[in-house]
Structure 1
Amino acid sequence: MTSQTEIRVLEISPPESLDSPEAELFHGGVDVEFAIAKQERGYTDLCPSAEEVLVSLRSQKYYKKIRLAAVAGLAGAPRREDVLGWASIDLPRHDNLHLAEVHVAVRPECRGRGVGTALYSAAEELARDAGRTTILAWSDHRDAPSTRGDDDSGLEAEAILRPPTGIGGVPPDDAPTRFAVRNGFQLEQVGRHSVLPAPIDSEHNSALLSAAEQRANVPETYQLVTWKNRCPDEWLEQFAKLRQKMSTDAPMAGLEIEEEDWDGARIRDEEDRTLAFGRTSYVTAALHVQSGLLAAFTAIETVARSTEFAFQGDTLVIKGHRGNKLGQLVKAVNLARVLTENPGLKRIHTWNAAGNSYMLRVNLDQGYRPEDVEGEWQKRLQESG
């Protein structure tokens, strides 16, 4: 059995190619995520492929991205199978310069041996060295009440750990919960991961669309704008403003996240990276006719490595335009587009804050069902010494 004194934490350098000898450590880290997903979920949809991870690590303009691997043994060149766990440290470069986003993952059979502790200690040290004062982290929980459709409002305190908002909660005895609490994190918000099984009832989606069009007074008050992969130049700066608003208008509870800095150049950088990932992005936006401004948008991404699943990304309705069913409108239109072009889809994944009752209702109406719960954690380093 590996003890903590036999663990080395090494920084992973992006290899020149996935076939090169120096890629062993990199592949070992990616393998960790797949091993966890196969055991805990039974599918690997949410695990980026080695190709996708490499593309991400080569894109460092808006985030400094550091990856660490914990390996067994104190000497020698580590092999792929020697990687026990890995960690990511993402440091925003253009905004939120106080933040570090940290993720730690350990092979299921290697837990309880100090691997996660060694990785987190190294990650926190890197965050401190970078001058960051707040660390954000996330945890997944498969058997929380809301994933089973239960009403958790009557659960005793010892049965669920709630954030200060009192909305949602995570099981206090889950290993990720214990790890976060032990390392000084506070649960600030709970999110929900939901899945839309396909094929969907096209008549039901059409009915949702029709109701939304009537409420939004389409096309007199609002008109629809769609694009694929690249935002048209005429909407680029407006779309950047919507993305910037997304960073603060989505429920954040007590998470110390400041408004992000978005412009057309950042949109283009993200589009280039998405295409390099082998993903196809479908966007539908609502244009307010009188002002000539975009009032809402939603996005779905399909992936090249599989025709079976996709990701429902951000959806935003600008304040002042809410209450007009614009969220339902753009989501129904975009979903129909994606399913028409991707008839083999079997499921679409999405995430929402548990406190975002409007969007959760839109998703439930569209056919999404709870899959698991996400804990959103925060640690203030200046308070932890």
Structure 2
Amino acid sequence: MSAATIEQLRIPETLDGDAAQDFLQAVEVSRQVRVHTWGNDVLAYTAQELFAQCHDPYEWYVVLVARNAGTIVGRAGIAMPLDDNTELAHVTLDVLPSAAGAGLGRKLLEAAELFVRGENRKIVMVETNHPVAALVDGVSDPITATHGSGSLPLSSREARFAYSAGYDLELVEQFSACALPLPAGVAAQLADKAAARQEPAYAVHQWMDSCPEKWAQDFVRLEQDVSGNDDAARGQGLHRGQDQEPEQAQELDQWDVNSLREAEELSARTGRHTLVSAAECLATGALVGFTSISILGHRNDVAFQDDTIVEKAHKGKDVGLQIKVANMEMLMREFPQTRAIYTWNAPENSAMLSVNAQLGFVSAGATGQWRKDFNALG
């Protein structure tokens, strides 16, 4: 592996023909890594998705590849936001299991860091993935996250890699899965439970793909409390979805109705569908919460839970449960072939974890968000 070389991948104009072969090979490396980690390729990019990300108007996406004897055996995806957080870069590392253990991951990371520093990016974020089976015995030498209550064991190879590369563990998220369809009667029982706590105080409104104009301003207002670390987490992939509390999120100061419509158009071009259930407070006529689910363009047998937001004044009334049940019912109605839904949650978000547990979500593992700040290094 000492003969491995690293270079920037040329993004092809189309996915057809010989010019796209290196790009497709890099996609296959990522797919094999996801299969090795999770046991399936549900969280893997398709070529069409990665191609779309390389043309995302909101970020610059660069791919570095490692070759051994001419064959691509590793890649580093570098996502650099173009509007907000322009000091930030997200780096995704993938090395084939057959090429692991020879220092290739470190060489790719160092090359990615050199690239982003040349683009005046000061903060690098790296994600590590940990299936639940790999965490069962990892109770010794925990690395505690700087935000939230999560930790990862230093015995984990992935955690040890990031830690030894000088990264701080910023956040740990619980990765959970729910089998679909829900057992008969479960959705109705949970809907009745939520309604019993509320009196007739809230109405649920639903839509797919495009927010009705009537609710657009309210929806944007709620989304302004949501950071970019949801489903389309900038630089972390189209598959990311996260239930979160508004106070845990970073504001999107420039997010408005025009931004919403642009995002809807971008999703439509990738074939992605978004299901939304929102709660209206009948006393004020305003939306006070929403939850969304994504269906990817290339497959409809899996779904991803995106953000769930409930305003603080309306918590403790099972509003989150009400809208999540409604959205799950819409998912099963509109996409009956869906067999699983996935989500990420902060471990300390006990309220949302409780709602998810009632719906049937079980832990499948964890992801770690690691940060290196070049400003702090001098």
What's the TM-score, normalizing by structure 2?
0.89
1:83 paired residue among 69, 72, 81: 72
Distance 2:253 2:60 in 1: 15
Find the counterpart in structure 2 of residue 241 from structure 1.
221
2:115 paired residue among 115, 120, 126: 126
Matched-pair contact (CA < 8 Å) for 1:25–1:83: yes
Cα shift at 1:113: 2.1
Q: Check if 1:328 corresponds to 2:325.
A: no
What percentage of residue pairs aligned between the two structures are identical? 30
Cα shift at 1:216: 3.0
Matched-pair contact (CA < 8 Å) for 2:37–2:130: no
Find the counterpart in structure 1 of residue 105 from structure 2.
116
Find the counterpart in structure 2 of residue 279 from structure 1.
272
Question: What letter matches 2:296 in structure 1?
Answer: V
Q: Secondary structure of the equivalent of 1:58?
A: coil
Q: Report the CA distance shift for 1:335/1:294 in structure 2 as closer, same or farther (over 3 A).
A: same
Matched-pair contact (CA < 8 Å) for 1:228–1:281: yes
Q: Deviations over 1:159-202 (max 9, x none)?
A: x3222457232221222111101111111221011000122124
Find the counterpart in structure 2 of residue 169 from structure 1.
151
Matched-pair contact (CA < 8 Å) for 2:152–2:368: yes
2:341 paired residue among 331, 335, 348: 348
Q: Secondary structure of the equivalent of 1:307?
A: coil
Q: Check if 1:40 corresponds to 2:33.
A: no
CA RMSD of aligned residues (A): 2.4
Distance 2:127 2:246 in 1: 13
Q: Deviations over 1:64-100 (max 9, x none)?
A: 2222111124xxxx5xxx1111111111222122221
1:372 paired residue among 331, 353, 365: 365
Q: Secondary structure of the equivalent of 2:151?
A: coil
Cα shift at 1:129: 2.1
Q: Report the CA distance shift for 1:133/1:144 in structure 2 as closer, same or farther (over 3 A).
A: farther
2:18 paired residue among 18, 21, 37: 21
Unaligned runs of 5+ in 2: 229-242
Distance 1:241 1:166 in 2: 25
Question: What letter matches 1:239 in structure 2?
Answer: F
Q: Secondary structure of the equivalent of 1:261?
A: coil
Cα shift at 1:273: 2.2
Q: Deviations over 1:356-378 (max 9, x none)?
A: 11111110111000001111211
Question: What letter matches 1:273 in structure 2?
Answer: L
Matched-pair contact (CA < 8 Å) for 2:244–2:352: no
Find the counterpart in structure 1 of residue 183 from structure 2.
201
Distance 2:283 2:246 in 1: 31
Distance 1:144 1:267 in 2: 39
Q: Deviations over 1:330-364 (max 9, x none)?
A: 10000001101222221111111112111111101
Cα shift at 1:260: 5.2
Q: Report the CA distance shift for 1:336/1:254 in structure 2 as closer, same or farther (over 3 A).
A: closer
Equivalent residues, number: 364
Q: Secondary structure of the equivalent of 2:108?
A: helix
Cα shift at 1:210: 1.4
What's the TM-score, normalizing by structure 1?
0.87
Distance 1:129 1:91 in 2: 12
Q: Secondary structure of the equivalent of 2:48?
A: helix
Matched-pair contact (CA < 8 Å) for 1:299–1:315: yes
Matched-pair contact (CA < 8 Å) for 1:9–1:70: yes
2:61 paired residue among 50, 58, 65: 65
Superposition map of 1:121-270 within 5 A: 121-143=110-132, 155=139, 157-158=140-141, 160-164=142-146, 167-218=149-200, 221-247=201-227, 250=244, 259=252, 261-270=254-263
Q: Secondary structure of the equivalent of 2:144?
A: coil
Q: Report the CA distance shift for 1:325/1:187 in structure 2 as closer, same or farther (over 3 A).
A: same
Q: Report the CA distance shift for 1:377/1:260 in structure 2 as closer, same or farther (over 3 A).
A: farther
Question: What letter matches 1:112 in structure 2?
Answer: G
Q: Deviations over 1:218-264 (max 9, x none)?
A: 3xx22111110111122223222222202299469999x66453112
Cα shift at 1:208: 1.0
2:4 paired residue among 4, 7, 31: 7
Find the counterpart in structure 1 of residue 50 from structure 2.
53
Find the counterpart in structure 2 of residue 101 from structure 1.
90
Matched-pair contact (CA < 8 Å) for 2:245–2:310: no
Matched-pair contact (CA < 8 Å) for 2:245–2:308: no
Q: Deviations over 1:39-58 (max 9, x none)?
A: 22221111121111111211
